[in-house]
Amino acid sequence: MVGTAGHVDHGKTALIRALTGRETDRLPEERQRGISIELGFAPFSLPSGRRAAVVDVPGHERFVHHMLAGAQGMDIVLLVVAADEGVMPQTREHLDILSLLDVPQGIVCLTKIDLVDPEWRALVLDDLHRELQGTFLENAPVVPISSVTGEGIQELLQLLEEALDGMRPRSAIGPMRLPIDRVFTLAGFGTVVTGTLVSGQVQVDDRLEIMPGGISVRVRGLQSHGLPRDLCRAGERTAVNLSGIERSDVARGQVLATPGSVVQTMQVTLHLGLLDGAPPLPVRTRVRLHLGTAEVIGRIIPLDAAEIPPGGQGYARFRAEEPMAAAARDRFVLRSFSPPHTIGGGIVLDVYGHQRRFRREDIEDLERRQKAAPEEMVLGAVRRSFAQKDGQLALELGLPQPTVQEAAGMLAAGGSLRRLGDTWLDAEELDRRVERTDRAMRELRAKDPLWRGMDRAGWRRDVVPEIEARGAAQLVQELADAGRLRLAGDRVLPAGAAEPLPEALQRDLDGLAQFLDAGGLQPGAPGEWMQAGAVGAGRLEDMLAYLQAEGRVVRAGDIWFGQGAVAQAERLLRDALAGGREATTAQLREALGTSRKFAVPLLEHFDQQRMTRRFGDVRRLLERGQA
């Protein structure tokens, strides 16, 4: 993505016309006045055949906010300076903006050389070199160009080729994000948004959302560099045809993104630097924050001083007057509210509206966020919340997804983090929670020999409430495989073999099981056994639950059966319903050889076990896997 910058009427649009053969001024007013007002875009081919795109930005001071929308996403900038005028106010402001946005590299284009003699050109070049000292373009190549005669165009194309050869491609891994810089409607297609894809990738039929607003949309079609595409990747100029949204519902400044990957917020924490010529920035100064393609008005609250001085740096909170979409590590430009002038810029550190104060520990935390290595940032973010998904980490920290995954992988290899699906856990905190729950389970078992462990839902609530049920089930199985705990059906028990039951209690349990077994398909009530004086009433329910967990008794409705009797009933029912036969409740009661009191609960039990199903007045066997 190639961009232009420079003062009004210095030949940016004419240069693009010479490079691409296309006219980027679309509006009648632009052609009438001879200046660019809106952003213009054109694809073109480099000498190697590689396709690129160029964005033409307005140079007039009234349209700097449009220039800022086009400057985000630039891989290389062409700073245009006219040889007949030299460096002008918007040259300097555009250069400041490019520096604040951390545009990686550029080429200086000295245009309109056909209008000046060699001596004047040399004077302008000397002045230009002085202006560029100390900037990211200090050592950039300077190409004299005439868009009229074509002089310098081929040299510029070759320099662009060489610059792009050495450029590291943007990663397409991670959530898709496209700051919208243009919206229009095409007859027969509907709403189209355009922008530079800053991360991830997008393909036809993807479900995305527009933020702020949270509007759900579907991708109907894609174009890049003027050609239809099925898939576009980070770094590419992209036009997206959307369904599910009207033209009036979307505007420049919003972001098209993977659902859940962009935060809608009214407040962000910043690291801010002011330009040398900027006025001081005291508390609650009203400013314009340019973030992506958005211009948001709000107030700045410095956090580590009463004000930020000219040329100074500091941490600040920005409170917006309307919702905005933001991600940590995004770069921004700050302009005064009225009259609007560029006064500074920096990076977003926190998008979640944390209420930071003037305390030293808050400032130290921000300093760590700004300067920390990826591993330190990832570990800190996970430890703050115990569990973090890949996408959440990348969003909160403002790091590319591959960088987050690499850093988290290194931390996992060192034992600091644990991987669970797409979620990273704080391994130390997880160990503490597992050990605490293990101790609690051992204490319960010591107090009550009949205690049969925690149900899995209870274990999840106690140990990992931050994780969804499927992830918790995976974790409990991994811990059981590692010998950290023991599973018995749907129950979780402490690691190690269970203590043997007291002899008297074991004798009572055996007696109760034998009582139910002896009754077959017409068992007596457990209370009858209890009344015989074997145990006290307070223990009967616990004993039945213990035997049920052991698989020795089965509860069908309100009746308890011995496991042997239930197995016998299953055989009888399968024989009665074999070959696709069906039978009424009365017929099946006869097959079981018991009364309706016991037959009906047993039949309903097998319905619940999905062995049989009732169809009106009859039942049939279900095939395995049949619902």
Look up residue 165 and give its amino acid: D
The three-state secondary structure class of 305 is coil
The answer for residues whose C-beta is within 8 angstroms of residue 537's C-beta and 6 or more apart is: 530
Decide if 378 contacts 402 (C-beta within 8 A): no
Decide if 205 contacts 199 (C-beta within 8 A): no
Alpha carbons 154 and 443: distance in angstroms, whole number: 82
Alpha carbons 426 and 603: distance in angstroms, whole number: 49
Measured at the CA of 68, the angle between CA 347 and CA 202, to 5 degrees, comes to 80
Alpha carbons 288 and 297: distance in angstroms, whole number: 5
Crossing angle for the helix pair 456-463 and 427-447, nearest 10 degrees? 130
Which residues does residue 613 pair with via DSSP β-bridges, in sequence order? 620
Query: Judging by DSSP bridges, how do beta strands 331-336 and 342-350 pair with one another?
Result: antiparallel
Burial class of 46 by CB neighbour count within 10 A (0 to 12, 13 to 18, 19+): middle
The b/e string for 121-150 (b: 16+ C-beta within 10 A; e otherwise) is beebbeebeebbeebbbeebebbbbbbeee
Nearest Cα to Cα of residue 5 among 342, 240, 295? 342
DSSP annotation of 62? G
Decide if 23 contacts 75 (C-beta within 8 A): no
The three-state secondary structure class of 133 is coil
Alpha carbons 436 and 418: distance in angstroms, whole number: 18
How many residues comprise the chain? 627
Which residues does residue 281 pair with via DSSP β-bridges, in sequence order? 308
Nearest Cα to Cα of residue 387 among 354, 351, 418, 350? 418
* C-alpha atoms less than 13 angstroms from C-alpha of 461 in its C-beta half-sphere: 5
Q: Please list the active-site residues.
A: 9, 12-13, 60
* C-alpha atoms less than 13 angstroms from C-alpha of 351 in its C-beta half-sphere: 24
Decide if 408 contacts 427 (C-beta within 8 A): no
The H-assigned helical ranges of 53-88 are: 64-71
The three-state secondary structure class of 166 is coil
Alpha carbons 66 and 253: distance in angstroms, whole number: 11
Alpha carbons 83 and 607: distance in angstroms, whole number: 89
Count CB neighbours of 19 within 10 A: 23
Alpha carbons 56 and 38: distance in angstroms, whole number: 9
Alpha carbons 309 and 332: distance in angstroms, whole number: 18
Four-residue CA torsion sign, 560, 564, 569, 570: positive
Count CB neighbours of 13 within 10 A: 25
